[in-house]
Structure 1
Amino acid sequence: MSLRFLTGDENGLIKSVRIPISDQPLPDGSACPVTLSQPPGDPTRNNAVDKLALRTVGPQKLLAVARNGGAASVSEVEGDGLRIIHEWKEPRMKSADSYIGLAITPSNRVYTCTTSGHIRRTSLPSPSSEASTSKALLPMRLCDLQISSDERYLAYGGDEVNLSIWDIEKALSGKSPSGSEAQGSNANEAPATRKRKKNTELFSAEVWRAKNLPNDFLSLRQPVHVASLAFLGDSSSESSSVSQHIITGDRYGSVQRYDTRASGRPVAKWPMFKSVRKVQRGCSEREILVSDSESNLFSIDSRTGKILRNFKQVSGAVTCIATVPFPIQVPAPQSSQSSPAIVQSYFSSVSLDRYLRLHSTKPGGPKDKNVVSHTGQTRARVFMKSTPTSVVWDEDLNSTKGGDAPTDDNVNNDDEDDEGDGDGGGESGSDGGLWEDLDVVAEDGEDSEDGVGTPPPRKRRL
């Protein structure tokens, strides 16, 4: 049994990593990355991969790649190779910009967005139609953008940009959201009134916007810097009004949960972390994965903010997380055939220390009232040579069956050797004769067979 993940790195390389699944942590070297594609010419940071997105559409497995220089492409994954279907370049992108949003939907549409707010929707070509493009302009200084599962709404946030939700069809309809309608200006209104309306009036395609947090204990305004966000749960497409639960993490170390039906303020705020790098919906319904700038990776409860798991053995800040949305049965070791199979959920992470790691959790943990905080399991890690920037699971259900995982006997024997009692392990096999041939040395205070005892201990000088 094995899982395959696709990664993009700072040199523009797309790599594939297949990691065996075992009930025991795997030693380093159990999996090796395979390069699927590289940018034209020598790999440089100008072609660094900003975002990856993967979606299985019918018989095709499509991988979207957004690069630092503005180039983007969609390829079909064919084994250990990629076949480019469509590629384009964002002409509005400047040298200081980068991609902060990328998504592929089941309707064969690709969404991209840059830090300067240039969003594009590309409809992929088909035998009956050609590729088409729709563009729009969002606020600048964005840090993250996500598309809802029903493809009705988009949510974004950034540096001094509050969390906001837009209707996708209205935003990409061709009507500019700027102008007198968005500004709410009126020649007969006082300047102070126009300023208040400027902060409260929504754009034409905007359906909801978060409010500023209350002032701190010094009556100073709290800054806004949304670093990462994620939709929680699936929205109902039958409802005419927006109803979303969104989790955000900011650069100042707090995680907020928003309910658009309640108010513009967060319904919960947990200032328990360092500068947040990534928040993402976990493997179970009420689990959130959070990473910060100090190499910490946590799993928290979306209802209470309680830390459920703390994943150790991470020595670099986690920049991207890819979850497997269903639990997997791991066969029991051959030494204990009577024990039932182990059911676990898996997700992978990439960090600044150039490692890809595979983590495991027990499914349904956050739903259990008796669950307590404990250390999560890091099952394997793979050195990637260059710093990975993004990771996705290949969505292949067959990849979880019949992999090249090491046998349970090899895993158990390695663990037994590592967990010796300090006396060199057992005396079975070829080591037994080695210990029998060694001479026995007398203990302290006893005479050996030749009548010579051990020297007395030295006296300390007073």
Structure 2
Amino acid sequence: MEVDMESQPVHYTVVGSEKGTLKEPDWNGGSFKNLSEIDLDWSKGTVHLSWNNEEESEILVGRLSGALEVFSLSENKILRHGVCSAAVSEAATQEGIARLDRSCVSGFSDGTVSCWRWNDDDQCEVTSTVSTGSSLSCIHSDISQRHEVATGGKESNVKLWDAERMENPVFSAKNLPHDFLDLQVPVWVQCLTYPDSALIAAGTAYHEVQLFDPRSKRRPVTRYEWGEHPIKAITTVPDKSQLIVSNTIGDMALLELRSGKLLGQFRGSCGSIGFLQCHKTQPLVLSCSLDRYVRLHHTVTRRLVKEVYVKQRICTGLLPSSEVVSLATSLKRPRVVPAAESRDSSHDQSDEEGEDVWEELEQASAKNIKAEEECEAVADGTEEVVSPTLPLMAAKKKLKKKVPSSDDSPQRKKKRKNPRRRNDDE
């Protein structure tokens, strides 16, 4: 039976570089493939990747310049192209795109947010535009909240917007009270995520994680610090009880959602990690860092599963809903061996080295005991020095026994026996 390859869904892990090149890392082979042409234009840097259809054969690509593309993985070409030029400033760059049910929302660095959709002519049609503040650093949407978008930036606190009514925000966070010097607490929201349908988690440039609940109050319901460097990316594990955060020096950690307790660190990264995404079904998290590596970590054991060097700095990535790698072959946990079986089985190299060290210590201890006995015998005069291990110690003990001290001299003893002789003679 022949299988129609065109009808089969194409499942890739796709990452986008800061120069706009789309790449597909091969996790099993340790290599990568360029899906688009290599370009040196920085304005084409990739800021957003998301699936454009349920078959996961098309990708929506957002560029720094505000360009929007629909890229086909099966045909390896661009199907749609448009430009969202809603920014007020010409120097403003597109910081991200939030996917909604019927439209998309683009956020620009000057604080402008625009809602757009594709029209019948495959052109980008802007439906509404609003200003969120003086600047914008991140924009995020949740699958469960199809019509709401969260934004944040420098001196622009977290705001929640309804895509159907963009005039006023649904929720606007309030800054913390002034500090002990009566100074305003600085605000710089770097990344956002939805732990659940009710909470919003924000990572700040002041190494702090803040949790907002729009239903209760405007100020954070929980806030805790992590590390000493700005937080660049944040994501939620599938069970919604933990957060994974990363910062500008390559640290990556697993935190408890409510308390902020550090549950463990992820190892292996050497550069600033600017993107994190958890897999929907597998316990895996994708991280993209400035050291030009794309990595997969296990969210439970926090071990490095796979890493691929892609030769360019990666800004964003996209995981498929299907299985990425086989964890049975990637992570092999050691089998617990019973005590009886472990005594009969051969030890590994580290155990052998440890046993050798203990044997050497026992031999050295036995030699010292033997040398002590010989020294005692020589000091008593029953034996001569046979073993040259500790002749100096033997000689010292022999001299100490045979040579009387100044206190044990005959004159001293005589004086001790007749303490009043001087008085009697007088």
Q: Structure 1-normalised TM-score?
A: 0.64
Which of 67, 71, 75 pairs up with 1:71?
67
The Cα offsets for residues 325-368 of structure 1, whole Å up to 9 and x where unpaired, read as 113xxxxxxxxxxxxxxxxx011100011110110123xxxxxx
Task: Check conservation: 1:50, 1:98, Cα contact below 8 A.
Answer: no
Distance in 2 between the 1:71 and 1:272 partners? 35
Task: Check conservation: 1:110, 1:124, Cα contact below 8 A.
Answer: no
- 1:311-330 matched pairs, under 5 angstroms: 311-327=266-282
Displacement of 1:125 in angstroms is 4.6
After superposing on structure 2, the runs of 4+ consecutive aligned residues of structure 1 that deviate more than 6 Å are 405-408
User: What is the one-letter code of the residue matched to 2:297?
Assistant: H
**Structure 1 alignment gaps of length 5 or more:** 21-29, 172-176, 178-204, 235-243, 328-344, 363-374, 409-418, 425-462
Distance in 1 between the 2:272 and 2:257 partners? 22
Number of residue-to-residue matches in the alignment: 326
The Cα offsets for residues 108-145 of structure 1, whole Å up to 9 and x where unpaired, read as x3322111133233323569x97643131222311111
- Closer, same or farther: CA 84–271 of 1 in aligned 2, 3 Å: same
Match of 2:195 in 1: 232
- Closer, same or farther: CA 231–106 of 1 in aligned 2, 3 Å: same
Structure 1 residue 385 corresponds to structure 2 residue 378: no
Structure 1 residue 124 corresponds to structure 2 residue 122: no
Displacement of 1:306 in angstroms is 0.9
Match of 1:346 in 2: 284
Structure 1 residue 210 corresponds to structure 2 residue 173: yes
Displacement of 1:400 in angstroms is 5.7
Structure 1 residue 145 corresponds to structure 2 residue 144: no
Task: Check conservation: 1:76, 1:85, Cα contact below 8 A.
Answer: no
Distance in 2 between the 1:257 and 1:312 partners? 26
- Closer, same or farther: CA 258–398 of 1 in aligned 2, 3 Å: closer
RMSD value over aligned CA atoms? Answer: 3.0
The Cα offsets for residues 79-117 of structure 1, whole Å up to 9 and x where unpaired, read as 7x244234334263645322222133454x332211113
The Cα offsets for residues 21-68 of structure 1, whole Å up to 9 and x where unpaired, read as xxxxxxxxx3211111136xx4322322122222433x4533111112
**Structure 2 alignment gaps of length 5 or more:** 1-10, 333-347, 354-426
Whichever structure has more helix as a proportion of its residues is 2
Distance in 1 between the 2:21 and 2:66 partners? 16
Structure 1 residue 52 corresponds to structure 2 residue 49: yes
- 1:16-27 matched pairs, under 5 angstroms: 16-20=24-28
- Closer, same or farther: CA 304–271 of 1 in aligned 2, 3 Å: same
Q: Which fold has the larger relative contact order, with Cα–Cα distance below 8 Å and residues 6 or more apart in sequence?
A: 1
Match of 2:83 in 1: 88
The 3-state SS of whatever aligns with 2:43 is helix
Structure 1 residue 278 corresponds to structure 2 residue 204: no
The Cα offsets for residues 264-292 of structure 1, whole Å up to 9 and x where unpaired, read as 11111102222111111123221111111
Match of 2:13 in 1: 5
The 3-state SS of whatever aligns with 2:223 is strand
Which of 125, 135, 156 pairs up with 2:128?
135
Distance in 2 between the 1:258 and 1:140 partners? 21
Match of 2:376 in 1: none
Which of 354, 357, 360 pairs up with 2:298?
360
- Closer, same or farther: CA 360–56 of 1 in aligned 2, 3 Å: farther
Displacement of 1:231 in angstroms is 1.5
- Closer, same or farther: CA 148–118 of 1 in aligned 2, 3 Å: same
User: What is the one-letter code of the residue matched to 2:169?
Assistant: E
Displacement of 1:255 in angstroms is 0.5
Structure 1 residue 102 corresponds to structure 2 residue 97: yes
The 3-state SS of whatever aligns with 1:325 is coil
**Percent identity at matched positions?**
22
Distance in 2 between the 1:386 and 1:157 partners? 28
Distance in 1 between the 2:189 and 2:48 partners? 18
Distance in 2 between the 1:401 and 1:249 partners? 32
Q: Structure 2-normalised TM-score?
A: 0.69
Task: Check conservation: 2:236, 2:242, Cα contact below 8 A.
Answer: yes
- Closer, same or farther: CA 304–55 of 1 in aligned 2, 3 Å: farther
Distance in 2 between the 1:321 and 1:349 partners? 5
Distance in 2 between the 1:221 and 1:130 partners? 44
Match of 1:189 in 2: none
The 3-state SS of whatever aligns with 1:46 is helix
User: What is the one-letter code of the residue matched to 1:37?
Assistant: S
User: What is the one-letter code of the residue matched to 2:294?
Assistant: L
Task: Check conservation: 1:118, 1:135, Cα contact below 8 A.
Answer: no
Which of 137, 140, 164 pairs up with 1:169?
164
- Closer, same or farther: CA 420–5 of 1 in aligned 2, 3 Å: farther
- 1:418-433 matched pairs, under 5 angstroms: none
Task: Check conservation: 2:69, 2:78, Cα contact below 8 A.
Answer: no
Task: Check conservation: 2:232, 2:247, Cα contact below 8 A.
Answer: yes
The 3-state SS of whatever aligns with 2:207 is coil
